[in-house]
Amino acid sequence: MNVYEEDKHSFLKEEDGFLKKALEEGIPILGICLGAQLLAKACRAKIKKAESKEIGWYKVNLTEKGRQDPLFDNLSSELNAFQWHQDSFEIPKGGVHLVESWPCANQAFRFGRNAYGLQFHIEVTPEMIESWINAYTKSEPKESDLKDMLIESYKRKESFRKQADLIYFNFARVIAAQKTGID
């Protein structure tokens, strides 16, 4: 589904309202892929078709601001990222551009002190990727590319999990700092 398909998926309107209220109240948000696009929309940024679909493993790079952001503490400035999307978001006005890549320049942003949108997936497992391949690839990459992507997913499983765990840990620290008023 896509953010702009509210006529097909009416709950997207409710999600937009929910995110706007969470932003107003300063509730921490970590939006991943569609969640990042929904967050960007709630922040009044444009969502549009990406120049090309991204499906598979890509390198993404922290921007200067990304290298300074607590969400990416103790991470390399170049991350391995799993992508599965055809849309992209603009960085919201007042937002901070944290991660970039090619062909989809806007890979992550922060809005306010504790609302983050990540275009790439940090939550996936090889098993999830395999289920997506089985469910969604009728018109996607060639079968041999999909098989290679899945093999790569199993090879990267442990290092990718550690990278994701560090991002989750850092997000928990952002939340704790907000609760205690510590930066």
Residues with catalytic roles: 33, 121, 123
Which has the closest alpha carbon to 123: 66, 163, 86?
A: 163
Neighbouring C-beta atoms of residue 121, cutoff 10 Å: 18
Which has the closest alpha carbon to 76: 1, 145, 166, 136?
A: 166
Give kind and range of the element (H or E) at residue 34.
Answer: helix 34-42
What does residue 98 show for φ and ψ, rounded to 5 degrees? -110, -35
Encoded tokens for 68: 């300074």
Residue ranges of alpha helices (H) inside the chain are 11-25, 34-42, 64-68, 126-136, 143-180
* Residue with the two structure tokens 């995110």: 19
* Residue with the two structure tokens 């008023």: 181
CA distance 169 to 177: 12
**Radius of gyration (Cα) for the chain, nearest Å?**
16
